[in-house]
Copies of this chain bind each other. A is one copy, B any other.
Amino acid sequence: MNAIHPHRPAPRQGIVELLQAHDIVPTQQRVEIARWLFSEPRHLCAEQLIGLVGEAGCRVSKATVYNTLGLFVGRGLVRELIVDPERVFYDTSTHHHHHFFNVDTSELIDIPEEALAIAHLPEAPLGTETTGVQVIIRIRNSRQ
């Protein structure tokens, strides 16, 4: 897994409000985790997030990071992306969009919703309901 370019984490105040708006008690650890998740739209796996939070000097345990990510997913703050058998990615863009996934670099790139139209979306089978539509275009580095 590649290192992630660390940038400035989001300010704490906005994060606290964001969490409260989603019925999440803003504990220290959750705020620190969320600051890195929501500073800008991005795709992170748990390991990368643990790295970012740790480098910033906050001691947050692995277990808490996983618990927190699960909590955020349940509350709709982030979306799970299942594209790589090795790890789960978390997408901080909650608006609907799709992805390129580079299998050589494990890198995800957004495809805006309007860049790709799906016609005739089939209905969910009887007794089921749709929870999400995901388009993944797998790419690899060009073999020259």
**Interfacial residues, chain A to chain B (CB-CB below 8 A):** 80, 82-85, 88, 100, 102-103, 109, 111, 115-122, 124-125, 127-143
Contacts and interface: CB of A to CB of B under 8 A. Distances in A.
Contacts of A143: 129
A130 B135 CA distance: 13
A135 to B, nearest CB: 5
Nearest to A121: B116
Q: Is the interface of A mostly helix, strand, loop or mixed?
A: strand
A30 B132 CA distance: 37
Given A85-B82, A135-B135, A136-B134, A120 B115 contact: yes
Given A82-B82, A82-B85, A128-B142, 15 more contacts: A80-B85, A100-B122, A109-B125, A111-B122, A115-B120, A117-B120, A118-B118, A127-B141, A127-B142, A129-B139, A129-B142, A130-B137, A133-B135, A134-B138, A135-B136
